[in-house]
Chains A and B, each alone.
Chain A
């Protein structure tokens, strides 16, 4: 099946620094990718929709200047957590759907990135 790869799988950074997380669709093209955040014992919360070649669409309450999204190609989207603070520590997950498969097909998820801000 289709594969979505995230990198890194785990990162620890100092408070105040920025961290970039990559999400790649390995064997299909995705005009749209989705970024989620998940805190311990909670469900996934959609943060934003990443659109290839245009600005990302952020969900209500998500700061676009803090969570920078770039979708420069049909197989890569990046999420940069700027000026990270301990409360940004979370599990970040991306998702993508094959652009050639229409709307009623499954989405594929990356393995997630565990961010710890110290």
Chain B
């Protein structure tokens, strides 16, 4: 699976949009981009994933560049509860539920009041 690069930490004011970047310059055509987050002392929580097109759900939006070498996770209105470590992962798609998820170091997002 392709490796990802994320800034180690970011901060954002409460109520503002938090934009978390991720570089995945070696991504292959069959690899999806996934985002998870981990709030302190909890298991990771799925946020969103995408292949080529931008995606949006109730939690966040995912913007993938046209060349797919980078992406940005957008939390439109950050709250204090969004303070967590955010992981960007690229993963080969297989027609199997056995595909592993390998975590990088992630971005520690702090939301300030």
Residues of A within 8 A of B (CB): 4, 6, 30-32, 34, 36, 43-46, 49, 51, 91, 93, 95, 97-99, 101-112, 114
The interface stretch among B14-22, B60-68, B70-78, B99-107 is B99-107
By Cβ-Cβ distance, the 9 closest A-B pairs, closest first, are: A109-B43, A106-B46, A103-B94, A97-B97, A104-B93, A32-B98, A44-B103, A109-B44, A99-B97
Residues of the A chain whose Cβ atoms lie less than 8 Å from the Cβ of B95: 102-103
Which residue from chain A places its CB closest to the CB of B96 in the assembled complex?
Answer: A103
Cross-interface CB contact of A32 among B42, B97, B104, cutoff 8 Å: B97
Q: Are B44 and A106 in contact (CB under 8 A)?
A: no
Contacts of B85 in A (CB 8 A): 43
Contacts of A107 in B (CB 8 A): 46, 101
From A31, A98, A111, contact of B98 by CB (8 A): A31
Contact of A43 with B97 in the complex, beta carbons under 8 Å: no
In the complex, A4 Cα to B45 Cα: how many Å? 11
Least CB separation from A100: chain B residue = B97
Q: What's the count of A-B pairs with C-beta under 8 Å?
A: 73
| Chain B residue nearest in CB terms to A97 | B97
CB-CB under 8 A for A111 and B42, given A49-B98, A103-B93: yes
Contacts of A99 in B (CB 8 A): 97
The answer to whether B34 touches A31 (Cβ under 8 A) is no
Closest to B34 in A: A106
Task: Contact check, B46 vs A93: say whether CB atoms are below 8 A apart.
Answer: no
Chain A residues lying within 8 Å of B98, measured Cβ to Cβ, are 31-32, 49, 51, 103
Min Cβ gap A53→B in Å is 13
Q: Say how far B100's CB is from chain A's closest CB, in angstroms.
A: 6
In the complex, 10 of the A-B residue pairs with CB atoms within 8 angstroms, ordered by the A residue number, are A31-B97, A36-B103, A43-B103, A43-B105, A93-B43, A95-B43, A99-B97, A107-B46, A109-B36, A112-B41
Q: Which of chain B's residues have a CB closer than 8 A to the CB of A109?
A: 36, 43-46
Q: Are A103 and B97 also in contact (CB < 8 A) when A43-B103, A46-B102 are?
A: yes
The residue in A31, A43, A98 that gathers the most chain B C-beta atoms within 10 A of its C-beta is A43
